[in-house]
């Protein structure tokens, strides 16, 4: 790919320090993300897998600009998030949108779906639109994410889990982002609803060339969506490469352990595996 | 897992649980037939709203108001649970019937140490107060928690999700129950922790030869750790049989849809087939007399909505689907199975 990456981490690291003891004399530090380089190109779906506490979410927080890296650089669309004027950083950050795991808590229960979508348009700085145009845009977003027409007047509590997650995807799309960070977006959903959301993401890629960073502990979901995968463990990338190659012939024992931990499609293969403990 | 089958620990025979919705009776659970033998594991699989948790609440006697059993019988170790006085049923809970909830952190009192929680539970079970500490320590040791004595002094927030779940497993087995109901015990955990917790659960189950009712939404997980699997849809038991058969030779269209909607880790990548519409809610069920899956079923015929079928194969593999419906599906899928998954939908569309 010769294009410029939509998002890039250059040896970015994130260390949390906490103080304890009298007057905070004792300092303890924790490396959430050890120096990490990552490039995401337009239209590319990249997955990050790892168990809880492996630093997956910290990477997404770096990309979103929620956390400043303690070392290294975070670039969005060629703009340095760590060194730049406030205005340019703000513009660059609009290129990245995030969807969270729990669709319920991400939506204000007192706002209708229409208001939730138009609010996202306002926040995305599409100020030139008047109320009527915004409504039209909200309707087109609602169609794009496959929500029935009558959902616009409804409130989040009246929607199913899958529909709520569609509203969240719609809100992310309002800003016309280059990159969507999806943090465990299907882990709370039923399998049939999960399949709908996954297919919706694939469709969005085809239509809009959106890049996606998928954070998940479900390896089969990562395999379905992503062309490239990073395996993280304790803040470090232990293995990365094309999804097919990594899953077919994992080189790191931790990747092997992660794959073995997923129950297989056939009842004949024994599960749980016996020798998981040493690798993990 | 152990395969001894003597007398059924739990036997449900044609149980129908009815709720009154605005004066109209609706069967929230319909004509359930299932049994769990001593030391056997039964997996109950389905999506949210299928009635899995309602089944768990029915067995433990914690039904919400307005729900009543209108027909059928439920026997626990030979005793009719439905005819039992309420006080006697409560006696069973925590002693003979143990429960492992889905959210380990919310199940533990945040203001109590693990020792306090154990103390309360062991007191109910009837362990004398001077033996409780030692019993609790041994229970934690059996689930391989490091430094049990230290663990007992901690508060729930100082433990990880997997550790909390292991504490709950230890507590559930402390009373040496005959039946354990595990409601999605690993849903909140990541894959590696899930593997550890499931292995621990299987080991304890073997040691105590407890009958386990494992509720999960993961068909593959259920097929691997259970002896039998029951698939639920909208309050019906749509497929029930030996775990291997249900996963590898699923017969009900809903089981097949569940199976194929999960992406694979091996083999060629395929597009996930998607079922239209949603599982009907309780209020929408009143109008459906026959198969509740028929409105979404790709191979349903006109007769499906009228009668609920119940066919049993010689090996005990039961399916609530008509012969005609299954025949239609087979005719579409006679080609290579890998094609059949998607073709099935296509030919349903053409019909």
Between residues B75 and B349, the one the model is more confident about: B75
Q: Identify whether B243 is part of a domain.
A: no
Contact flag A280-B192 (C-beta cutoff 8 Å): yes
- Closest by CA to A179, choosing from A272, A84, A97, is A97
How near does any CA of chain A get to the CA of B48, in Å? 7
What integer pLDDT is reported at residue B341 of this predicted model?
53
- Domain carrying residue B307: 250-350
* Interval A29-63: pLDDT, tens: 888 899 999 999 999 999 999 888 888 889 988 98
* Interval B120-132: pLDDT, tens: 999 999 899 999 9
* Interval B246-267: pLDDT, tens: 988 888 999 988 888 888 888 8
Least CA distance to B228: which residue of chain A?
A267
**Residue A84 clears pLDDT 80, i.e. is over it:** no
Same domain? For B297 and B183 the reply is no
Same domain? For B208 and B84 the reply is yes
**SS3 breakdown of chain A: % helix, strand, coil, rounded to 5?**
40, 25, 35
**Residue B268 clears pLDDT 50, i.e. is over it:** yes
Q: Identify whether B339 is part of a domain.
A: yes
Q: Identify whether B78 is part of a domain.
A: yes
What integer pLDDT is reported at residue A276 of this predicted model?
54
Residue B315 burial (CB < 10 Å; 0-12/13-18/19+)? Answer: exposed
In DSSP terms, which residues pair with B232 in a beta bridge? B237
What integer pLDDT is reported at residue B350 of this predicted model?
45
Same domain? For B41 and B182 the reply is yes
- Closest by CA to B47, choosing from A195, A151, A109, is A195
> What's the rounded Cα separation, in Å, for the pair B230 and A134?
49
Strands (E), chain B: 8-21, 24-37, 41-45, 67-76, 79-80, 97-100, 179-183, 211-216, 228-233, 236-242, 311-312, 318-319
* Interval B133-176: pLDDT, tens: 999 999 999 988 888 999 999 999 999 888 999 999 999 999 89
* Interval B194-208: pLDDT, tens: 888 898 899 999 999
What integer pLDDT is reported at residue B333 of this predicted model?
64
Mutate to test the interface with A, among B217, B274, B284 (most CBs of A within 10 A): B274
A161, A191, A259 ranked by CB distance to B261: nearest: A191
Same domain? For B53 and B133 the reply is yes
Number of folded domains that form chain B: 2
What integer pLDDT is reported at residue B101 of this predicted model?
84
Contact flag A224-B272 (C-beta cutoff 8 Å): yes
* Cβ neighbour number for residue A140 with a 10 Å cutoff: 12
B190, B202, B244 ranked by CB distance to A51: nearest: B190
Of B198, B232, B266, which residue is a domain's last?
B232
Do residues A164 and A184 touch, judged by C-beta distance below 8 A?
no
What integer pLDDT is reported at residue B98 of this predicted model?
93
- B195 contacts on A by Cβ (under 8 Å): 260-261, 272-273, 276
Q: Identify whether B125 is part of a domain.
A: yes
Beta-strand pair A79-80/B67-76: unpaired
**Residue B6 clears pLDDT 60, i.e. is over it:** no
Q: What is the DSSP string of B102-159?
A: S-HHHHS-TTS-HHHHHHHHHHHHT--GGGHHHHHHHHHHHTT-SSHHHHHTS-GGGS
Q: Identify whether B238 is part of a domain.
A: no
- B263 contacts on A by Cβ (under 8 Å): 198, 220-221, 223-224
Task: Tell me what percent of the residues of chain A surpass a pLDDT of 70.
Answer: 95
Listed range (A116-125, B42-51, B135-144, B216-225) with the worst mean pLDDT: A116-125
Same domain? For B210 and B294 the reply is no
Contact flag A265-B196 (C-beta cutoff 8 Å): no
What integer pLDDT is reported at residue A191 of this predicted model?
85
Same domain? For B320 and B278 the reply is yes
Same domain? For B192 and B123 the reply is yes
- B244 contacts on A by Cβ (under 8 Å): 267-268
How near does any CA of chain A get to the CA of B253, in Å? 13
Between residues A172 and A267, the one the model is more confident about: A172
Instruction: For residue A48, report the phi and psi dihedrals to the nearest 5 degrees.
Output: -120, 125
Do residues B50 and B308 touch, judged by C-beta distance below 8 A?
no
> What's the rounded Cα separation, in Å, for the pair B190 and B325?
38
Least CA distance to A219: which residue of chain B?
B265
CATH number of the domain within which B65 lies: 3.40.50.300
> What's the rounded Cα separation, in Å, for the pair A248 and A226?
14
Of B232, B261, B292, which residue is a domain's last?
B232
Contact flag A272-B266 (C-beta cutoff 8 Å): no
B221, B243, B265 ranked by CB distance to A223: nearest: B265
- A263 contacts on B by Cβ (under 8 Å): 218, 220-221, 223-224
Q: Identify whether B242 is part of a domain.
A: no
What integer pLDDT is reported at residue A280 of this predicted model?
42
- B191 contacts on A by Cβ (under 8 Å): 51, 217-219, 258, 261-262
> What's the rounded Cα separation, in Å, for the pair B278 and A88?
44
* Residue B61: pLDDT band with limits 50, 70, 90: confident
* Interval A190-207: pLDDT, tens: 888 888 889 999 998 998
A195, A261, A268 ranked by CB distance to B261: nearest: A195
What integer pLDDT is reported at residue B351 of this predicted model?
43
Least CA distance to A270: which residue of chain B?
B224
Same domain? For B109 and B256 the reply is no
Same domain? For B143 and B222 the reply is yes
> What's the rounded Cα separation, in Å, for the pair B81 and B59?
8
Same domain? For B216 and B300 the reply is no
**Residue B343 clears pLDDT 90, i.e. is over it:** no
> What's the rounded Cα separation, in Å, for the pair A169 and A109?
17
What integer pLDDT is reported at residue B5 of this predicted model?
44
Task: Tell me what percent of the residues of chain A surpass a pLDDT of 90.
Answer: 33
If DSSP codes are grouped into helix, strand and coil, which group holds residue A81? coil
Mutate to test the interface with A, among B195, B197, B229, B283 (most CBs of A within 10 A): B195
Collect all residues with Cβ–Cβ distance below 8 Å to B88 and sequence separation of at least 6: none
**Residue B239 clears pLDDT 70, i.e. is over it:** yes
> What's the rounded Cα separation, in Å, for the pair A28 and A232?
22
Q: Which helix (H) or strand (E) holds B268?
A: none
**Residue B2 clears pLDDT 50, i.e. is over it:** no
* Residue B339: pLDDT band with limits 50, 70, 90: very low
Q: Is A184 left (phi over 0), alpha (psi -120 to 50) or beta?
A: left
* Cβ neighbour number for residue A251 with a 10 Å cutoff: 12
Q: Identify whether B200 is part of a domain.
A: yes
Mean pLDDT of chain A: 86
Same domain? For B202 and B292 the reply is no
Q: Identify whether B104 is part of a domain.
A: yes
Average pLDDT, integer, range B218-235: 91
* Interval A127-169: pLDDT, tens: 677 888 888 888 888 888 888 888 889 999 888 888 899 999 9
């Amino acid at each position: 790919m010769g294009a410029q990456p939509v998002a890039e981490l250059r040896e970015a690291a994130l260390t949390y320090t906490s103080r304890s003891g009298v007057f905070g004399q004792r300092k303890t530090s924790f490396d959430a993300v050890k120096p990490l380089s990552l490039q995401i190109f337009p239209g590319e779906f990249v997955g990050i897998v790892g168990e809880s506490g492996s630093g997956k979410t910290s990477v997404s927080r770096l990309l979103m600009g929620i956390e400043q890296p303690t070392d290294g650089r975070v670039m969005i669309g060629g703009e340095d998030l760590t060194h730049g004027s406030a205005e340019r950083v703000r513009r660059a950050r609009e290129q990245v949108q995030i969807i969270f795991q729990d669709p319920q808590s991400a939506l204000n229960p007192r706002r209708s779906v229409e208001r939730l979508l138009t609010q996202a348009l306002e926040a995305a700085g599409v100020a030139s639109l008047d109320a009527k145009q915004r409504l039209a845009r909200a309707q087109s977003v609602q169609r794009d994410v496959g929500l029935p027409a009558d959902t616009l007047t409804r409130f989040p509590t009246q929607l199913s889990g899958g529909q709520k997650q569609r509203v969240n995807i719609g809100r992310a799309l309002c800003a016309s982002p280059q990159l969507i960070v999806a943090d465990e977006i299907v882990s709370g959903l039923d399998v049939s609803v999960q399949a709908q959301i996954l297919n919706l993401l694939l469709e969005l890629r085809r239509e809009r060339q959106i890049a996606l960073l998928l954070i998940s502990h479900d390896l089969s979901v990562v395999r379905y969506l992503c062309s490239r995968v990073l395996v993280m463990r304790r803040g470090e990338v232990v293995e990365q490469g094309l999804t097919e190659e990594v899953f077919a012939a994992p080189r790191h024992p931790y990747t092997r352990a992660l794959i073995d931990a997923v129950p297989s499609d056939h009842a004949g293969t024994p599960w749980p595996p016996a020798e998981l403990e040493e690798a993990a | 897992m152990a395969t001894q089958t003597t007398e059924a620990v739990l036997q449900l025979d044609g149980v129908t649980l009815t709720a009154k919705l605005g004066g109209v009776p609706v069967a929230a659970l319909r004509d359930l037939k299932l049994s769990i033998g001593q030391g056997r594991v039964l997996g109950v699989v389905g999506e949210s709203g299928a009635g899995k948790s309602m089944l768990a609440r029915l067995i433990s006697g914690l039904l919400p108001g307005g729900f009543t059993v209108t027909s059928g019988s439920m026997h626990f170790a030979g005793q009719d649970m439905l005819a039992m006085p309420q006080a006697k049923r409560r006696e069973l809970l925590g002693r003979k019937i143990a429960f492992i909830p889905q959210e380990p952190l919310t199940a533990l009192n945040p203001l109590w140490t693990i020792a306090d929680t154990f103390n309360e539970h062991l007191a109910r079970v009837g362990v004398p107060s001077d033996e409780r500490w030692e019993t609790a320590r041994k229970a934690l040791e059996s689930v391989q928690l490091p430094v049990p004595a230290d663990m007992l002094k901690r508060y729930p927030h100082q433990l990880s999700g997997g550790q909390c779940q292991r504490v709950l497993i230890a507590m559930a087995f402390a009373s040496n129950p005959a039946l354990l109901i595990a409601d999605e015990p690993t849903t909140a955990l990541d894959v590696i922790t899930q593997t550890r917790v499931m292995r621990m659960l299987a080991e304890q189950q073997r040691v105590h030869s407890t009958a386990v009712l494992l509720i999960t939404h993961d068909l593959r997980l259920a097929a691997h750790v259970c002896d039998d699997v029951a698939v639920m849809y909208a309050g019906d038991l749509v497929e029930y049989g030996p775990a291997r058969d249900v996963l590898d030779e699923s017969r009900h269209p809903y089981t097949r849809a569940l199976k194929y909607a999960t992406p694979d880790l091996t083999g060629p990548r395929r597009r996930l087939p998607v079922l239209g519409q949603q599982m009907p809610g309780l209020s929408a069920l009143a109008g459906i007399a026959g198969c509740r899956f028929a409105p979404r079923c790709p191979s349903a015929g006109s007769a499906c909505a009228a009668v609920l079928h119940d066919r049993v194969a010689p090996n005990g593999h039961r399916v609530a689907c008509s012969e005609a419906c299954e025949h239609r599906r087979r005719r579409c899928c006679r080609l290579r199975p890998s094609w059949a998954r998607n073709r099935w939908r296509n030919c349903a569309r053409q019909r």
